[in-house]
Structure 1
Amino acid sequence: MALESLCWLRQWLREEHRSRKLILFIVFVALLLDNMLMTVVVPIIPNYLYQLDKPEPAQNISSSGSFQNIVSLYDNSVKSSSSNSSLSTGPSPSPDPGPVQGNASDCPLSRSSLVNENVKVGLLFASKATVQLITNPFIGPLTNRIGYQIPIFAGFCIMFLSTIMFAFSSSYALLFLARSLQGVGSSCSSVAGMGMLASVYTDDEERGHAIGIALGGLAMGVLVGPPFGSVLYEFVGKTAPFLILAFLALFDGALQLFVLQPTKVEPESQTGTPLLTLMKDPYIIIAAGAICFGNMGIAMLEPTLPIWMMETMCAHKWQLGVAFLPASISYLIGTNIFGTMAHRMGRWLCALIGMVLVGVSVLCVPFARNIYGLILPNFGVGFAIGMVDSSMMPIMGYLVDLRHVSVYGSVYAIADVAFCMGFALGPSIGGSIAENIGFPWLMTIIGLVDILFAPLCMFLRSPPGSEEKIAILMDSNCQMKTRTYSTQDRHQSQDLDLDQDQDYDDEDYD
């Protein structure tokens, strides 16, 4: 009986109209976990590495009238204080810098050692995107040969292993390895997931809506990750957030086994356009560039903003993650609103406005003097990136339909490469720039780059395609809408038949 019920449930789940929604849910959860793991380390790693690398604090003998040595963040003097006297050693007395916002226990002991963390943290954050960048060109064509089920399940397995490594790693080398391994799993999940959605949602408007929902999973991961990691890190410990993510990854893997059956190889029915041919398409390059430079703004903020906050605000540990909360909430709002609206207003216009808004918001970040001053700029950054991503991800699939063969693994590998270039170049270059010329100049540079790139989105207003491809695309859209209407009519007729049967049964009973 139980076996029959299980078989009936699997058959019910694999019906076409339910299967599409379940596939969308699986991709949503996969992107959620990937981006939670990517962002949960943002408030943890800078502080954790600083705690590993910082020198031992000076001996505290402050019982009664004793002295405590504190290295000032703002000057190189060593201040000795007691309850009765205050002396300063050094070549000349230094004035007291005054009260510093935040808790003194959260203030770094040395500004030089803190600034040096920029490069290490930037390289560690960039390692995931760099490995993902290298892996994507292989995953895209692979999905054309073996289908999407096996790569997305392999991505889950690798993600689970990376999460466990993060939980129990206690050295920079192991953390670097875990972050790099995550890049392989993320490449499998994102490329196969987006390709799977594009293949089951063939109507352009439906596809945009579905991809907007899937990007909502990415937004939820970005939204929950930093505050989730910072709060658990401060009050429970480094291991706790990663163990919870590992448990959620097991749930996603079980769902994939039940619905997708990744042991079955289902290659695409037609040969896709070669990857190099797609990379030479100027319209695909413009769309990929918008994804890259749009996301580079937040990618540069992730490793450098917590350190800048520690340096200028003496921010608490939990504040390092909560500072990203406005960007995460607004990204979630932006992807849900413009997943559908971008199709109506023009995806090129939505992306153009988003790129300008990213640049302006990033330029405003260095003017903040406390965590409250970061709310509006970070909100603008997240909302604008949501506009860009929810416009450009569907347009990548549309460009393939319009100008190439409708096989989507390779084009979403290019989209993921663009996304990864932003998150690879952003932290690695951003950390070095912040160390050498300062955080404000870093924000100025990336803000101007985004604003200058925005006008290129006008070329995506009406990209050319062959008449044959346009006719096929219009015909397939009409067939999809006709099939949707006929499915609705069939369900209505089935409901009517059930009502009639019920009436006949009532008459027989009477």
Structure 2
Amino acid sequence: MKIIDDLIGADTKFGALLQTCRESRRLVLFIVAIALLLDNMLLTSVVPIIPEFLYSIRHPNESSTTLAPPPVATTPSPPSASGLGANDTEGGNTTLLFIAGSPFTPTNFTPTLSPEEERRLQRHKDLVEENMEVGVMFASKAFVQLMANPFVGPLTHKIGYSIPMFTGFIIMFLSTLIFAFGRSFSVLLIARALQGIGSSCSSVSGMGMLAERYPDDKERGNAMGFALGGLALGVLIGPPFGGFMYEFVGKSAPFLVLSALALGDGLLQLLMLQPGVVKQEADPPSLKALIMDPYICVAAGAITFANMGIAVLEPSLPIWMMDTMGADRWEQGVAFLPASISYLIGTNLFGPLGHRMGRWLAALLGLIIIGFCLIVIPRARDIKQLILPNAGLGFAIGMVDSSMMPELGFLVDIRHSAVYGSVYAIGDVAFCLGYAVGPAMSGTLVKSIGFEWVLFGIAMLNFLYAPMMFMLKNPPTKDENKSLILGEKSSVRYVTYQNEEEDE
């Protein structure tokens, strides 16, 4: 970075402008938001691509056009001596047929299906089997990110936030290129898992950087709402962008575009953030102390349960739409559009609003709305009927995320010390846990109990967890905890003193 500064010259107008930009909190917020946007574009652009692409690998000779949903097999009517079919009527009354003296029933003959119907039914079976494979691939990123977070969080305490942030860009860039040129399940799985490491570096460092630059609780909520808006915009653009590019250009196209955008973000970080070692002045709280804090665990749990529903939908909803609606690739991507738009609105609205009404209340209402939307989604019979429940789901998740992310920083401020790497590692673990458990379970559960019952079960989990938000209404501060402990010790000493006097 010193070489760049020497080339520009600190005494030039551009050098002075550059130095002013480096000191700007808003520019840091913009860089974090862009990093989250690109990370989540990569995360979600594969949603409409991977199921269809994996199916085309397994069935290279099948037409690329999506077939209509499998028809309900109907039993053909056998011929009768009178020449009437099973559904023929005389004078408006149904004629009951007998074959060899016995009433005709579906059990005494084998129905025949046309080759087209057999092909559609076989496709239905293949798509149900593919749920598990797609779920594993989607969950791999979250599992790797889950394992990386406990290392990235404490690392930021020692070297600062800028180096892990830039490392996240490098890893994401490599992951995007592998996605572009990968042509097998194993290679794509590696790319997805590698993205988890990059996401861990970017999200933990980005949120910690914002918490440090915005010490005021209200400003921090607004800033994190804006950053999560970048995340939401990535989720918003990703599925339709991936589906459209895959349909009309090819599989590699969306990932090559993303790699170019990631390269631009990396150059911006290199120029403005000046990656270098910056040690924290305050003593950071230990990861163990934060994990043992029940209030931090409750806030993190809300993030997990809120995101579990959409995490289950990502691998299973496109396949369910292909199976039940005969949806095209672009329709599978567009199905997530209402959720993404409403998430963008929810995060920006409840960043400041959550501070006013109480973040615990915003999260409680969000969890309840999520439950109702998950119950309604499987009742849709075409893409239009998915708009309202998906929009409600995205808005409610935005309520929870934009409330609980700044709440984690607030809890660290009042109950520990103002060093944020580890607490946002926990927050990111909570986010990843939902995206790891959801897709990993969805394949097996959808196959065994069905798509509708899986969403119903997750809805019940959200309903049951919602009352836990009352714990965050008035969390005790560090001084209150000390006073409580000292008060208990004084009471014990007083009782001991009384007992000694009675003994005398």
Shorter chain as normaliser: what TM range? 0.7 to 0.9
* The one of 252, 269, 277 aligned to 1:265: 277
**For residues 160-175 of structure 1, what are the structure 2 equivalents within 5 Å?**
160-175=173-188
* Residue in structure 1 matched with residue 299 of structure 2 by the alignment: 287
1:358 corresponds, among 347, 364, 370, to 370
Task: Measure, in 1, the Cα distance between the counterparts of 2:310 and 2:400.
Answer: 13
1:23 matched to which residue of 2? 28
Report the Cα distance in structure 2 between the residues aligned to 1:379 and 1:408, rounded to whole angstroms: 32
1:36 aligns with 2:41: yes
In structure 2, distance between residues paired with 1:17 and 1:160:
24
Task: Please say if 1:221 is aligned against 2:226.
Answer: no
The correspondence of residues 176-195 of structure 1 with structure 2, limited to 5 A, is 176-195=189-208
Q: Does the residue aligned with 2:281 lie in a helix, a strand or coil?
A: coil
Closer/same/farther in 2, CA of residues 443 and 269 from structure 1, 3 Å limit: same
1:415 equivalent in alignment to 2:427: yes
CA spacing shift, 1:55–1:32, aligned 2, 3 Å: closer
Q: Of the candidates 467, 477, 484, which is equivalent to residue 465 of structure 1?
A: 477
Shift of 1:112: 1.1
Match of 2:55 in 1: 50
Query: Matched residues in 2 for 1:331 and 1:325: separation?
Result: 10
Q: Match of 1:241?
A: 254
- Is the Cα–Cα contact under 8 Å of residues 416 and 478 in structure 2 kept in the other structure? no
Shift of 1:27: 0.2
Relative to structure 1, the CA distance from residue 344 to residue 72 in structure 2 (aligned partners, 3 Å threshold; closer, same or farther) is closer
Are residues 1:154 and 2:172 paired?
no
Shift of 1:430: 1.3
Shift of 1:466: 2.8
Q: Is the Cα–Cα contact under 8 Å of residues 139 and 439 in structure 2 kept in the other structure?
A: yes
Displacement of 1:418 in angstroms is 0.2
- Structure 2 distance, partners of 1:293, 1:126, is 15
State the AA in 2 paired with 1:36.
M
Measure the CA separation in 2 of the matches of 1:237 and 1:76. 36
Change (3 A) 1:142 1:308: same
Q: What is the distance in 2 between the residues matched to 1:308 and 1:144?
A: 44
User: Which residue of 443, 453, 457 maps to 1:431?
Assistant: 443
Contact 1:10 1:258 in 2 (8 A): no
CA contact (8 A) 1:167 1:239 kept: yes
Q: 1:363 and 1:71 mapped to 2: Cα distance?
A: 25
Amino acid at match of 1:456: M
Q: Tell me the distance in 1 between the aligned counterparts of 2:62 and 2:332.
A: 23
TM value normalised by structure 2: 0.83
- Following TM superposition, by how much is the alpha carbon of 1:51 offset from its aligned partner in structure 2, in angstroms? 0.8
Q: Shift of the alpha carbon at 1:53?
A: 1.1
- Counterpart position of 1:322: 334
Unmatched segments (≥5 aa) in structure 1: 59-69, 78-90, 471-510
SS in structure 2 of the partner of residue 231 of structure 1: helix
Residue 254 (1) aligns with residue 259 (2): no
Cα deviation, 1:356-415, whole Å, max 9, x if unaligned, reads 001111110001000000000000100000000000000000000000011000000000
Partner of 2:149: 136
In 2, Cα distance between equivalents of 1:440 and 1:5: 62
2:83 corresponds in structure 1 to none
Q: Which amino acid aligns with 1:416?
A: D
Q: Deviations over 1:178-206 (max 9, x none)?
A: 00000000000000000000001000000
Q: Tell me which structure has the larger Cα radius of gyration.
A: 2
1:164 maps to amino acid: L
Q: Hey, what does 1:367 align to over in structure 2?
A: 379
RMSD of aligned Cα (Å): 2.6
Shift of 1:9: 3.0
Shift of 1:467: 3.2
For the 8 Å contact 2:22–2:272, the answer to whether it is kept is: no
Mapped partners of 2:168, 2:22: distance in 1 = 25
Of residues 128, 134, 156, the one that matches 1:121 is 134
- Which secondary structure does the structure 2 equivalent of 1:15 belong to? helix
SS in 1 for 2:299: helix
Which residue is 2:85 aligned to? Answer: none
Residue 451 of structure 1 and its aligned partner are, at CA, apart by: 1.0
Change (3 A) 1:92 1:456: same
How far off is 1:19 after superposition? 1.8
SS class of match (2:24): helix
Query: What is aligned with 1:379?
Result: 391
The CA deviation string for residues 318-365 of structure 1, in whole angstroms up to 9 with x for no partner, is 000000000000000000101111000000000000000011111100
In the aligned structure 1, how far is the partner of 2:350 from the partner of 2:457? 27
Q: Does 1:92 align with 2:110?
A: yes
Cα distance change on mapping 1:461 and 1:240 into 2, 3 Å: same
CA distance in 1, matches of 2:14, 2:48: 42
Alpha-carbon contact 1:71-1:109 (below 8 Å) kept: no
Change (3 A) 1:220 1:336: same
In 2, the alpha carbon distance for the partners of 1:289 and 1:309 equals 30
The alpha-carbon deviation at position 108 of structure 1 amounts to: 8.1
Which residue of structure 2 aligns with residue 73 of structure 1? 70
Percentage identity across paired residues of the two chains = 57
Counterpart-to-counterpart distance in 2, 1:373 and 1:145: 51
Match of 2:245 among 220, 232, 248: 232
1:389 and 2:401 are equivalent in the alignment: yes
**TM-score between the two structures when normalised by the length of structure 1:** 0.82
Residue 206 of structure 2 aligns with an amino acid whose one-letter code is G
Instruction: Tell me the CA shift for residue 435 of structure 1.
Output: 1.1
**Residue 2 of structure 1: how far off its partner (Å):** 8.4
Match of 2:454 in 1: 442
Q: Return the letter of the residue paired with 1:127.
A: S
Distance 2:7 2:479 in 1: 55
Does the Cα contact within 8 Å between 2:347 and 2:402 map onto a contact in 1?
yes
Q: In structure 2, give the amino acid aligned to 1:49.
A: L
Structure 1 residues 228 and 2, CA, compared in 2 at 3 Å: closer, same or farther? same
Aligned pairs, number: 440
CA contact (8 A) 1:108 1:314 kept: no
- The 3 A distance-change label for structure 1 pair 309 and 71 is closer
Structure 2: runs of 5 or more not aligned? 1-5, 75-108, 483-504
Offset from partner CA, 1:182-231 (integer Å, 9 cap, x none): 00000000000000000010000000000000000000000000000000
Whole-angstrom distance in 1 between the partners of 2:55 and 2:301: 34
> After superposition, what is the alpha-carbon deviation per residue over 1:65-87, rounded to whole angstroms, capped at 9, x for unaligned?
xxxxx99834789xxxxxxxxxx
Q: 2: distance between equivalents of 1:448 and 1:6? A: 62
- Contact 1:108–1:311 (CA<8 Å) still a contact in 2? no
Where do 4+ consecutive residues of structure 1 move more than 2 Å? 1-18, 54-58, 70-77, 91-96, 466-470
1:226-281 Cα offsets, whole Å, 9 max, x none, are 0000001000000000000001001100000111111x211111220000110000
With over 3 angstroms needed to count, the CA separation of the structure-2 counterparts of 1:108 and 1:187, relative to structure 1, is: farther
